Structure 1
């Protein structure tokens, strides 16, 4: 366990006494729970594809070390370095998103992944936290009186990312990006007329997505009328929750998980419900709520507009991703293939979330004095 004296002026010593250790601890706890749930949820999936029973467990454990290194390494950076990192990651992610659309492997009708050096990467996962920081930077410059067309530039970046996501297609991620941008605009000082226009525009976009993208229409129709459409996945997920009850069947004792598609990934929350029960699920939800509330509470004490906007965008991304995953698993909204942060299996998602959480920890670190957003 790390321990540093309060008068330790080293890089790590200064980091230890300025970073939000409670927030860091909650994220580490989520990662540990993710490995535990992957261990119990993934063997049936591995057996169905004829690989070693602990194939996914080993890969997830292997990715946890670089994820933790990323969180700590990025959280050591100052505000200027965070902006530079976000710019580099954003440009790189956009290039890889284009490459994925043109040359990527199609999986379940979508081209969201690209293979690099034997690793399969989903570039859009990295675009989200980078966009949150860049949009916050640009809007903060506009808000602080700089001669920068912040609204126009941030809107152009949002349209660019959303356009590439629509081509993959990945409407769920596009919704998250739009939500990040809209929240930041709202905090930066939107007029009420623009708020109404944005809400109406979002509803119009949802209707358009229903008619343009068949998979969106299928998921919405299945949600509205489960009896008339194939709802095998969500039926199995609900059966898993019912099987687990309040206390769960016990680790490794799940029965429904044997036939639950993507039980190690998109539907891992259902496996948690079956094997560990209602209380365990409530505990997981409580951790996510703690991370969100803790992050927002740190911002209440910060007057730096860039920090407030960028960190809020990162929190919105984290919260929405968790909310969409759990709500779709519980059949509260149409199903959407979105991972549960730090818990679902997935290397790209884990590293991208680690990047975003490292940025959030860097932005919310205690600073001796309020720094200018330019520093």
Structure 2
């Protein structure tokens, strides 16, 4: 059944106002995630002694299906409903992130998860998109006619609460992403050059403090600068995978690296793509991520609503930066960081949180009468 422009139902209005090219690109990433999970996860399941070699595939199919439902459902919301949902989500995510410090299991020296029946929840993943929306809301409130509300200051204080919780877990990578998102939002809001330099200096100081105070951060940086300084097994194996794959790859299911790479289905799934499908598929994946970010930014060029502009900028920065960190660390361009590749890596919390963020983005960038972009 086709949806015509004369259709005034909720679905009809949504179809003709949502950014369909971005929606298609996101579904392509979901499809790539499913294919790469078929390629990478059975070997990992066998190696760790899982009940079934398809256990990861079954769970990820559920996560991807739920993620698509969340993304479509959230994209139907109005900007007001997006703000309300993000505010409730931010408060809940902050509370649950704090709860991980008390009742969360310790994994590799960090407390980032809550154990639920059959599922490990990472609340900080949901904090990222919700915090970006709430900070944008606070900043925009300070620009209302006659308003004396210190919106930017309120956003910085809220970020400070989130940053403290992330530091205590600790999750420096997540903290850096959240900080970069806020910086991008403040910059778009009209941050003067003195403040830009000051915040850049604060970022450098934050990284220096993390390097000095957190042994695992120091170890990763040292191993990046000098491979002889410690174990670089995963990165070495990942680089070998890209070399094995060449231009066109060894073929689906023909990769060998996934049998020895511990996180082949998660943080290093990009290496599996490189070995089995080759350089060309890797470039296609990079192009899809780039298309989503660039198209989103171009769609904002005519936007006159400050909240929409700041919120969408934050969501796009978060999405693009997370993809960059995953792929760049796999290629040994930056120190390794356990960060998932959006919609491609295994992980329920990651898939659902990214779906929530992209649903927010699709909802905010829908064409509406009176918006800067007009009506589609």
**Shared topology, TM-score over 0.5?**
yes
- State the Cα distance separating 1:56 from its structure 2 match: 0.6
Partner of 1:225: 226
Q: Secondary structure at the match of 1:111?
A: coil
Q: Secondary structure at the match of 1:120?
A: strand
Unmatched runs of 5 consecutive residues or more in structure 1: none
Question: In the aligned structure 2, how far is the partner of 1:193 from the partner of 1:61?
Answer: 48
Cα deviation, 1:315-347, whole Å, max 9, x if unaligned, reads 000000000000000000000000000000000
Confirm whether residue 16 of structure 1 aligns to residue 37 of structure 2: no
Q: Which runs of 4+ in 1 moved over 3 A?
A: none
Question: What does 1:24-103 correspond to in 2, within 5 Å?
Answer: 24-51=23-50, 52-103=52-103
- What TM-score do the two structures reach when normalised by structure 2? 0.97
Cα deviation, 1:5-25, whole Å, max 9, x if unaligned, reads 101000010000000011111
Would the aligned equivalents of 2:111 and 2:170 in 1 still touch at CA under 8 Å?
yes
Partner of 2:303: 302
- State the Cα distance separating 1:301 from its structure 2 match: 2.0
Partner of 1:365: 366
Question: In the aligned structure 1, how far is the partner of 2:161 from the partner of 2:118?
Answer: 28
- State the Cα distance separating 1:108 from its structure 2 match: 1.6
Question: In the aligned structure 1, how far is the partner of 2:229 from the partner of 2:16?
Answer: 57
CA RMSD of the aligned region, Å?
A: 1.0
Would the aligned equivalents of 1:143 and 1:188 in 2 still touch at CA under 8 Å?
no
Question: In the aligned structure 2, how far is the partner of 1:303 from the partner of 1:176?
Answer: 26
Question: In the aligned structure 2, how far is the partner of 1:39 from the partner of 1:214?
Answer: 36
Partner of 2:109: 109
Question: In the aligned structure 2, how far is the partner of 1:101 from the partner of 1:288?
Answer: 33
Question: In the aligned structure 2, how far is the partner of 1:185 from the partner of 1:345?
Answer: 32
Query: When the two structures are aligned, how many residues end up with a matched partner?
Result: 370
Partner of 2:2: 3
Cα deviation, 1:97-142, whole Å, max 9, x if unaligned, reads 0111110111121110002343210000000000111111111111
- State the Cα distance separating 1:370 from its structure 2 match: 2.8
Question: In the aligned structure 2, how far is the partner of 1:48 from the partner of 1:167?
Answer: 32
- State the Cα distance separating 1:3 from its structure 2 match: 2.8
- State the Cα distance separating 1:189 from its structure 2 match: 1.0
Would the aligned equivalents of 1:68 and 1:354 in 2 still touch at CA under 8 Å?
yes
Q: Secondary structure at the match of 1:115?
A: strand
- State the Cα distance separating 1:229 from its structure 2 match: 1.4
